[in-house]
Amino acid sequence: MRSITIIVAGAIGAGFLLAQASYRQEIEKWRKEREASLVRDDGWLTVAGLYWLKEGENRAGTASTNEIVLPPGSAPARIGVFTFRNGSTTFTAEAGVEVTLDGKPVRKAALRSDAEGTPDVLRTGALSMWVIRRGDRYAIRLRDLNAPARKQFQGLRWFDIDETWRIRARWVPYNPPKKVSVLNIVGITEEALCPGYAAFEIAGKEYRLEPTQEGGRLFFVFRDATAGKETYPAGRFLYADPPEGGYVTLDFNRAYSPPCAFTAYATCPLPLPQNRLPVRIPAGEMNHPAAAH
């Protein structure tokens, strides 16, 4: 009987160790993918400009006399004009300058913003530009494949993987979903729907986080006591799968810095007041020396 007990206990222990190793490999793989996503051509490290549009003409090029001043040496002194009127943007290219839209040369075109789905993207050399809408304001976002932030990037820093920070939280739905006002880092507030809250314990004390819904998943923006010291000052992001059986898994080993940690030209949402936790969560992505601000 004793030998059978030892064998069973050993099998359970081996299974636990295998599960731990599998989980660690899963997180390590996710972290590598996270790092690779930042340096891709469409990663946040290539975002190199954000220019708020004024009514009328907004000239673009590398000359300092333009409203939209592009990085030195990246394009001609003038590449064209973005004409913005009543929420609509039209681009007119400068004669002799090659600008493409969907891979085809363009002289003049009305541009869809990201508020209308996939935005129209203009390209010239290593640069690409498109219209974004935030609240009732519109801007041109710039991507530069030769951005210094991309070339100088030396990788991310992480807390050690610790499965105790993979928390099974109690899910409490709001019926109907609650409206919340989400302030972003550029001072614009937008309305969103919060479907409920996740309740969990750390060191015997209960805390709550409220998400919004994004692409069928729960999206949490939170700030904890590591912010400004070990992690990005404004807070971090965390996605979770939809609740199941009244619970949701919050895997803080997958918590990561927002785009604003890598470029000054992002418009990241800030944590809701109720998502600012007075407790340390030493898990997930840490701040890094090249943080934008």
Give me the residue label for tokens 């219209």: 131
What string of pLDDT tens digits covers the 293 residues of the chain? 555 555 545 555 555 555 678 999 999 999 999 999 999 999 999 999 999 999 999 999 999 999 999 999 999 999 999 999 999 999 999 999 999 998 899 999 999 999 999 999 999 999 999 999 999 999 999 999 999 999 999 999 999 999 999 999 999 999 999 999 999 999 999 999 999 999 999 999 999 999 999 989 999 999 999 999 999 999 999 999 999 999 999 999 999 999 999 999 999 999 999 999 999 999 999 997 655 44
Query: What residues contact residue 146 under an 8 Å CB cut-off, 6+ apart?
Result: 71, 74, 126
**pLDDT score of 7:** 52
In whole angstroms, give the CA distance from residue 149 to residue 155: 11
**pLDDT score of 21:** 82
**pLDDT score of 292:** 46
Alpha-helical segments (H) within the chain: 2-39, 148-152
Element (H, E) at 240: strand 236-240
**pLDDT score of 19:** 62
**pLDDT score of 6:** 53
Instruction: Compute CA 286 distance to the chain's CA centroid, rounded to the nearest angstrom.
Output: 15
pTM above 0.85, yes or no: yes
Closest of 139, 77, 181, 159 to residue 265, by C-alpha: 139
SS3 of 205, please? strand
**pLDDT score of 293:** 46
Alpha-helical segments (H) within 70-226: 148-152
